[in-house]
Amino acid sequence: MQLHEIDDPDDDRLSDYRDLTDVALRRVREPDEGLYIAESAKVIGRALGAGHRPRSVLVQRKWVDDVMPLLAETPEVDVFVVPPAVAEALTGYAVHRGALAAMHRPALRSVADTVAGARTVVVLEDIVDHTNVGAVFRNAAGLGADAVLVSPRCADPLYRRSVRVSMGTVFQVPWTRLADPRSSAAELASAGFHVVALALAEDAVTLDAFARDRPDRVALLLGGEGHGLSRRSLADAHSVVTIPMTGGVDSLNVAAASAVALWALTREAP
């Protein structure tokens, strides 16, 4: 690999990393097969382990020895070595973990390929907070979900904050984006899934009651932070499930709710 010492944040070779503020990232979605940013040696290692290809790496000088072993299989990659002040001036934030990689975005798989063989699938509908998306992926990986599907308006799992919060598990859990969320329940039902909406509803059954006799294949629908699941999703679901609450609190943050639901749905799975 080629090491390039750079002290100028305006160097054209660093254009992939320029102005990576959260606001900028939310405004512009990378195109399919474009780029995404992996942050920290751990996350970069997980991305490489999943077969993703780096276009370049930006690393602070004191982190070079931690990052170089990860790139042994990609000797053609340019490694830009910069001081901390240049990294912050370039990206718009303090790069605390020392390294960023501009990674080639892989093509998305079909829904059918993504859920093939899965018993527990998580479906995210219009969850726009990148932190919540990353946390749900981490829960999915740690609590035994086999795949994640995201709606067209859902925050990108490969945005920097999502990847970082997930601790790189977005590269571990198979996922793809739904083309038309209006037909997602029907598509999952035709694939043999019992579609479960996690929501507050008068006809909802408790999570414990549902988990005691869970169907073999379950697709768990989780709604956005403000309004929850759409009326159509609630109507199309085979079951509506709720988490019993106390203390005058009626619901949990979507990431916390996903952890509770997945633990209940997978704890007795073979």
Query: CB of 247 within 8 A of CB of 127?
Result: no
Measured from the Cβ of residue 32, the count of other Cβ atoms closer than 10 Å reads 10
> pLDDT at position 33, please?
54
Residues paired with residue 60 on neighbouring β-strands, in sequence order: 82
- Whole-structure pTM value: 0.87
Query: CB of 174 within 8 A of CB of 146?
Result: yes
CA distance 170 to 162: 8
SS3 122: strand
**Amino acid type, 262:** L
Instruction: Please name each of the domains of the chain with its CATH number.
Output: 2-104 (3.30.1330.30), 111-266 (3.40.1280.10)
CA distance 181 to 193: 16
> pLDDT at position 69, please?
92
> pLDDT at position 28, please?
46
Angle between the N-to-C axes of helices 130-143 and 254-266, in degrees from 0 to 180, rounded to the nearest 10? 10
> pLDDT at position 266, please?
94
**Amino acid type, 38:** A
> pLDDT at position 20, please?
66
Tokens of 13: 């070779």
> pLDDT at position 151, please?
94
Query: CB of 61 within 8 A of CB of 87?
Result: no
> pLDDT at position 34, please?
82
CA distance 62 to 17: 19
> pLDDT at position 26, please?
42
Grouped pLDDT means (10 residues each) for the chain, 270 residues: 89 84 48 77 92 93 90 91 88 76 91 96 95 98 97 91 92 93 84 95 91 96 88 93 90 94 82
